[in-house]
Amino acid sequence: MDDGTPTCDLLIRNGRVLDGTGADWYRADLAATGDTIVAMGDLRGWGARQEIDAAGRFVTPGFIEEHSHSDTTLLVDPLAQSAVRQGMTTMAVGMCGMSAAPIAPARREEYRQTTGLLDYEGVDWSWSSFGEYLATLRAAGPSLNVVAMAGHIPLRMSAMDDPNRPATPAEIDTMRDMLTDALDQGAAGFTTGLNYTSSIFATTEEIIEIARALVPYSGRAYHTHMRDYGPHLVEAVEESICIAETAGVPLVISHMYPNGRDNWGKSKTCIERVEQGRARGVEIGFDVTPWLRGGGPFAQTLPPWIRDGGMNAGIERLKCDPEVRARLARDIEQGGDWPGWLRPEWDQWLICATGRPANRKYMGQSIAEIAAQLGMTPVEATIHLYVEDRGQFCIAPLNKCDEDIDRLLQHPLGVPVADGFALAPEGALAHRDRPNSYGTFPRVFEHYVRQRGVLTWPQAVQKLTAVPAQRLALWDRGLLRPGLKADIVVFDPDTIAAVADYAFPQEYPVGIDWVIVNGKVTVTADGHTGAKAGAVA
């Protein structure tokens, strides 16, 4: 203004600020111009192009999702509806070793077909290098910020003629060189999924040697979906720490929890191992999905012998040989000494995703219910679905307990994550999934803060903002301070809640009034504004 009155693009007044530091709330106004916070405090003399009255609301940094699988859903629908409407302003992709790049052109179609978490209609897989993927993502213009990791599985498929075996030294060198190229082109770290095909065949030494590529790149960490979360959970934590310590890199253990009733209570030992590693100087953190049901591809629970030669080869053996089916049925029910096996609880294993459209009628039903419909035993029905769905169906077992999740969330290193996708209830992404993709962060505030007191409001906000920002080396986000990026959430502490559940997973949360991404109002109480202000790191 000509009269000398300070002005800005966006002014948020009267809010209670939880700034991400873990300190309790304080009253302050906040001004943003362009994509940056320019002032905080008593701004009664300021003018603005747009004002928000945040009376009775908390004003916080934008929430950061450090673990998602939205690599290609953001290309199908860049509005990222299910993510931004729960307050996410930044999302990390490429987790569990399954990134969209880099992938050798000759293996691109095979990788796409066998990695169901990334295969969506309407995605033109024209990229090969990591830089080409990032350029494609930038051209799409996502509504939130994206940090992309390079995964182990496409590295193996690109470097090895047969990735379903341990790698040779020369192949490991090729994978490390590919990772270096990806890091040079913008990859924010390296991820593994060590009970997925084909990473299940990788040795500890292979991962160490590839992870060494991270050393020259400050702040870029090794994120791991560990080799086992069940009987060998503690050993898997120890292996993860060994990899990071030997390679000399930061470590983030993905979605850490004891998997299955037989293993409940092991969270205490896992935390002890993490603290021992940090005492030796290893930079370690972990994240937690705050739901009692897990979820993921059923294939990760299967023994290595059925995955030998690749998923498609195993499925063909099951189709042709009754003895192979019988052997697999025994292994599924009785278990064995391999990573990922989970004792079946057929009435609790819900189908939460399928690859074959005709099988989507089963989503939300248990294996026991489906078996009754098919006139089969539960294990027969499971193998039938695995073959018919080409290995792409996912289960959501009731495999966690409150004691473990509470302990992991309360620990200073525990960060809540959704481990889901940026989806929408209409259009190409309107397939039912677990409620994680729509309601995880509101659930943290509703269930773990307001209802049960597991976390305080400042603790919960810090775990969703400053802590993941540090892990992802996002030094200009995660806090509310002048000079930092204007990623902001305004929500009502009395009403914020998840609406999505396992019966109705495609429901947006309530209680979030405003979401601002890089200074642009992206969500209001009326819905998504259509803004696409996200940056691709």
| pLDDT (0 to 100) of residue 311 | 83
Residue 272 amino acid letter: E
**What's the burial of 21, exposed, middle or buried (CB within 10 Å: 0-12/13-18/19+)?**
middle
Among candidate residues 102, 79, 216, 85, the one with its CA nearest the CA of residue 152: 102
Q: Locate the DSSP E strands across 388-454.
A: 394-396, 414-416
Tokens 């090895």 correspond to what residue?
A: 160
Distance CA 124, CA 141 (A): 16
Strand bridging mode 7-17 / 58-61: parallel
Which residues touch 317 (CB under 8 Å, ≥6 apart)? Answer: 306, 324
> Any idea what DSSP says for residue 403?
H
**What's the burial of 495, exposed, middle or buried (CB within 10 Å: 0-12/13-18/19+)?**
middle
| pLDDT (0 to 100) of residue 418 | 97
> Any idea what DSSP says for residue 212?
G
Cis amide leading into 99 (omega within 30): no
Q: What is the mean pLDDT of residues 413-432?
A: 92
CA distances from 1 to 7, 8, 33, 190, 482 (A): 7, 10, 14, 49, 21
189: left (phi over 0), alpha (psi -120 to 50) or beta: left
| pLDDT (0 to 100) of residue 2 | 62
10 falls in which pLDDT band (50, 70, 90)? very high
Span 75-109, pLDDT tens digits: 999 999 999 999 999 999 999 999 999 999 999 99
> Any idea what DSSP says for residue 65?
E
Tokens 């009376």 correspond to what residue?
A: 55
CATH class of 1-303+398-537: alpha beta
**Secondary structure percentages of the chain, helix, strand, coil, to 5:** 35, 20, 45
What is the share, in percent, of the chain residues with pLDDT greater than 90?
82
Q: Strand pairing partners for 497?
A: 510
Distance CA 306, CA 317 (A): 8
Among candidate residues 40, 96, 432, 399, the one with its CA nearest the CA of residue 254: 96
The answer to whether the beta carbons of residues 252 and 149 sit under 8 Å apart is no
Tokens 């202000």 correspond to what residue?
A: 533
Strand bridging mode 26-33 / 36-41: antiparallel
pTM of the model: 0.91
The answer to whether the beta carbons of residues 497 and 511 sit under 8 Å apart is yes
> Any idea what DSSP says for residue 102?
-
Domain segments of the chain as ranges: 1-303+398-537, 305-337+343-396
Distance CA 425, CA 508 (A): 9
The answer to whether the beta carbons of residues 154 and 99 sit under 8 Å apart is yes
Cis amide leading into 322 (omega within 30): no
Q: Which two tokens stand for residue 2?
A: 């000509």
Span 232-250, pLDDT tens digits: 999 999 999 999 999 999 9
* DSSP secondary structure, 298-340, as one string: GGGGS-HHHHTT-HHHHHHHHHH-HHHHHHHHHHHHH--SSTT
Q: Among 249-263, 331-345, 413-427, where is mean pLDDT lowest?
A: 331-345
Q: Strand pairing partners for 17?
A: 26, 59
Q: Among 116-120, 185-189, 205-209, 238-242, where is mean pLDDT lowest?
A: 116-120
Span 285-337, pLDDT tens digits: 999 999 999 878 888 889 989 988 888 889 999 998 999 999 999 999 998 77
Three-state DSSP string of 410-427: HCCCEEECCCCCCCCCCH
Distance CA 93, CA 184 (A): 17
Distance CA 254, CA 149 (A): 13
Q: Which helix (H) or strand (E) holds 28?
A: strand 26-33
Q: What angle do CA 107, 110, 116 make, to 5 degrees?
A: 130
Mean pLDDT computed over every residue of the chain: 95
